[in-house]
Each structure stands twice: as structure tokens, then as C-alpha cells.
A and B are shown apart, each in its own frame.
Chain A
Amino acid sequence: MDTLTTAVPPEMKISLGPLHLANPVMTASGTFGYGAEFSNLVDLQRLGALVVKGISLEPRPGNPPPRVVETACGMLNAIGLENVGLDRFIHQKMPFLRTCGSRIIVNILGDSIDEYAILAEKLTLVTGVDGLEVNISCPNVKKGGVAFGTVPEMAAAVTRAVKNATDLPVIIKLSPNVTDIAAMAKAVDESGADAVSLINTLIGMAIDIHSQKPKLANIIGGLSGPAIKPVALRMVWQVARTVSIPVVGIGGIGTAEDAIEFLLAGASAVQIGTANFYNPAAAEQILTGIEAYLSRQGASSIHDIIGSLRTTI
């Protein structure tokens, strides 16, 4: 019946500043490997964008095991930013990514402002890279290990350094482990970021009461999955009404309904993270579900619902 009344499929294209995507559904960094891991299970061409596992200048071995533990409606991870490093990423991972038919966003991380800038500069020269997402939830080694993403001035400095080093679209990925997320977003907006994405994982921990030991070797880790969705949604809403740049919503999204909540709260796009693990079809199902919702609402475009939250009862 529905198909008879909606002859024209809704417009799904969105823009994150200069970065134009065919639809708003992306996969989140660290939950989708380098794309190839899911290529037999997911039609990668349907993704609005694929965000790869965070890349540092040099390879990183990551943390000792155990690195993951399940919690109520979620999971904790302390992967320790294990990654193949920039050179191997370019030579071993980019050839597949270039051919997969999706927009490629490279997530970068560093322990100094220089490292972020060098990564940005080098990735600008790599064909097939459509944008950068900057993970600022990392400790600044030169500033005693305080995370870049927890001090507005440091987040602003990383943003400026990356923007000066590249002409690729730059998304700054915010850490939720702060007192005032809107202040962080404002700082990176004013420093020239093309978009912000949030949230990264919330720091948490779990204890095995039989051994009386932490369940993660790293003791603490990042909480993700459906358990964090309400917090993520609140933060996206706060940020969307503060900044002028587009916002990408992340955190516990597993269904089209979840994604639509983020769009209504003001996100222009969403990233699917932990859901890829328990349901590799999640991103595709969410895309289909958003289209169906728009049709049911009689909306002709995704833009009709972005930020259209009604706050008056």
C-alpha cells in the first residue's frame, strides 16, 4: 500500500560541510575494521561512509588481554588503539577501500599535535580518502597525558593544526568524558572543524567478584552499545543547538528508530558502532528503515526531520 502512495523515494543525500554523502548512515571507527572484514556480510556500496579503525603514525600493538567484556546492554573495550600504522594502512588497506564503492573516512589519532598534523598532511595525498575524522579522546603525552578531548584549548589546537595540514573535510570526534560537551564542540567549531561527531566511548569498568580482579587487563575501558544511547542522544542534542557545523550522532544505535531519534535531535548523519558486531546487517537495515519512516511521514527529504524535535508539549 505504502509503495503506491510514495512514487518518489525520499532524498537521502546529506553534507558534512564539503563532504557529500549519498545517505546519512556510516559505520563507526574501530567497529568495522578496514572494511574488508565485513565485505561478505554487508553491501559496502550502500553505506553513506565507512570510517576505518583509528590510524596512528607508527603501528601500535594495543593493550594486553582481556580487552573486551560484555556488560548489561553494552560492552567495555580496552583495545588500546591497536592499528597497523600509516604506511601499512596506505599500502595494505587502502587498495581494497578504494574499490569498495563507499566514501572512506580515515580516523586518526596521535599523542602530540604534530602527530595529528603529519597524519593529516600525509593522508591528503592518498587517493581514495574522502575525509578525516580526528579522535581527540587520546592522551597528550606532552601535557602529562591529559586527553586532548577534555580541554577546550587543546581540542581547538588539534583542530587548527589538522585544518592547516589538509584540505580534506575534517570531522572532530568528541569524547563524552567531559563536564561540558557543548563547550568542547564550540571550541572545535570556532577553530574551523567542518563537522563534529559524538560520542566516543564512556569510560567504565567491571569487576569479577570471584577473583576480585578487574575484568579488563587495562582495568578501565570504553563503554559502548545500547546502554550509552540516552547519554549520547542528550549530548548530540546539546551540541546540535550550540554549533553551526553539522553533527554526526554516535552511540548505541542499532535500529532505524534509534537513528531517527538522533536525526530529530539535530544530527545530520549517524554512525553505527557496536551493533555491527551483533548484527552486521544493522547499517543496511537502518538505512532502509529511515527511508520507510520518511515515506510514512510523507517527508520528501531526510532534511525534513534533521533537528525537527518538538520541544513544546
Chain B
Amino acid sequence: MREYQENSVVQAIDRLSDSFHRLTLFAPRIAAAARPGQFVMASCGTTLDPLLRRPFSIHQAFADGALELLVKVIGRGTSYLSTLRPGAELSLIGPLGRGFHLTTHGPVTLVGGGIGIAPLLFLASHLPTDSKISTCTVLLGSRTNTDLLVLTEEFKQLGCQVRTATDDGSLGHHGFVSELLPAALPGAHMVFTCGPHAMMTTVARLCLDAGIRCEASLEAHMACGLGACLGCTIHGAGNTYRHVCKHGPVFDATEVAWTP
């Protein structure tokens, strides 16, 4: 496993909803090496301000060299990405970090909240086919229905059962996506989650209590993404510090100190 610095070229940019943009990039070396749960560091501008690259989960990677990012605009870097047009160049470093560990052959449940859904599509498309058919349950949550319409269809096309929750009740359960988990837990061999920290905390606790293995993809502010700056720290279990870019971004739920 190694990482590359690659000048990718934007092939397409799709606006899935008010907040989600999907960038399709041609990045053959990174796409070929990418594993579900890994991320890239993207240069979000061409000047010295903003200065640092931004981390993005790999949303999809294809054999033809296409690499997809799902981007939610929250600030200057992400808004720059949302304005890129086909043909534009985007410097990437990747694939980075430790991804999801597909150890189970039994049924799995994926829990994604908001932009945390991004890495789960790549994961769902890489689940072993024997466990995928009707045994992959995907719980998706977001603020409102438009964020989820396209993504729900794509998970279904992969053979997953999808249940949704929205903050405004416009699609599926009216409330938190983590509230859908207790009903989905019985029978699950493993749970994979990515989303807001509070949501993942609830998911991790439910799984730990039920004795079900859970992996969570965490976030931290990053300067390098390479394990060099030691900036991307989180509190790990047992009073340790862990670095999201190197030890993660995907952690076993038992490795993380979930209390704030």
C-alpha cells in the first residue's frame, strides 16, 4: 500500500442537493490503490490562502481511473471545490489512512449521517457478494430528503436494504438516524459508521453494549494527512492519543474514548 501525489482532472461535477456535490475525477493511480474508508488530501485553491489541503473520504473508485468525492460545502475550501468545472485540475494525495476492515461474512449494517455517508457507498460496493444480497442494511440520515434521494437509489442498486431518517421528517423516520439502529442490530455481525461525532458515539455505544463489532470513521483537523505533523489527534481508549490520518480514519469502536 502506498500513496501518490496526482494532478487529477475533473470529469464531472453533479449537484446532488443544496448541500452535496459529487466530483468525478480522473486519478488513475489513486483510484487503483484506493480501499474503502481511505481518504485523499485535496488542494482547495491555487493560492496561499487557504493554505492547507483538505481531507475527503473516497466516495467511489473505479477500474477506469475515475475517483469520486462527495463534498458538502461548509467553508472556503469546499466551496472552491463546488465551483470546479470539467477539465479543471485538482491536486490530490492519496489514498491515505487505514480503511474499513471487511472481516465478516455475516450481515452488516452501515450507519451514515450527513456527509458521513460519503465513504459508505464505496464500502457497500466492496462488500463480499455473498453477504451483500439482502444482508447489507444501510441507515442513512440527513437534514432533509433531497440529500438522500440519489444516494438511497445507489445503495439499493448494490443490493442493500435502505432505511432513512431526516431531521425535518421529509423522508423516512423523523429524527436521528441512530434511532433506527436498535431495530437493525439483531443479527448484524458488524456495524460500520461515519457521520457527526455525537451520532457515532451513540452508534458505538449501542454496538459495544450489544457486543457487536463496530468500526467508525473519525474526523480531525489535518495539516498533512501523512502522519508527519501529529496535528490530527483524537482521544483514544486508555488515556492515549491517536492520529486520525495514520491510525485511522477508521477505528475499531473499542480504540476510541467516546466520552468527550
* A residues apposed to B, CB below 8 Å: 30-33, 37-38, 40-41, 53, 61-70, 72-75, 77, 79, 82, 225-226, 254, 274, 276-278, 280-281
Contacts and interface: CB of A to CB of B under 8 A. Distances in A.
Contact of A62 (B4, B48, B222, B230): B230
Interface string B238-251: 00110000000000
A280 B233 contact: no
Interface string B4-40: 1100000000000000000000000000000000000
B231 interface: yes
Nearest to A32: B228
Contact of A254 (B3, B48, B223, B240): B48
A218 to B, nearest CB: 11
B221 A69 contact: yes
Nearest to A79: B230
A65 B220 contact: yes
A52 to B, nearest CB: 10
Contacts of B227: 33, 37
B50 interface: yes
Interface in B174-230: 220-224, 226-230
Contacts of B240: 61
Given A40-B4, A65-B235, 14 more contacts: A31-B224, A33-B226, A37-B224, A37-B226, A37-B227, A38-B226, A41-B93, A62-B241, A65-B220, A70-B52, A75-B51, A79-B229, A82-B241, A277-B52
Contacts of A30: 229-230
A73 B231 contact: no
A62 B235 CA distance: 12
B127 interface: no
A276 B220 CA distance: 19
A68 B48 CA distance: 17
A226 B5 contact: no
B220 A75 contact: no
A64 B224 contact: no
A33 B231 contact: no
B79 to A, nearest CB: 15
Contacts of B230: 30, 53, 62, 67, 79, 82
A64 B228 contact: no
A70 B51 contact: yes
Nearest to A34: B228
A276 B223 CA distance: 10
B49 interface: yes
B2 to A, nearest CB: 5
B43 A278 contact: yes
A73 B221 contact: no
B5 A73 contact: no
Given A41-B3, A281-B5, A73 B48 contact: yes
Contacts of B222: 68
A17 B167 CA distance: 66
A104 B231 CA distance: 23
Nearest to A215: B221
Contacts of A31: 224, 228-229
B234 interface: yes
B49 A75 contact: no
Contacts of B43: 278
A33 B230 CA distance: 8
Nearest to B43: A278
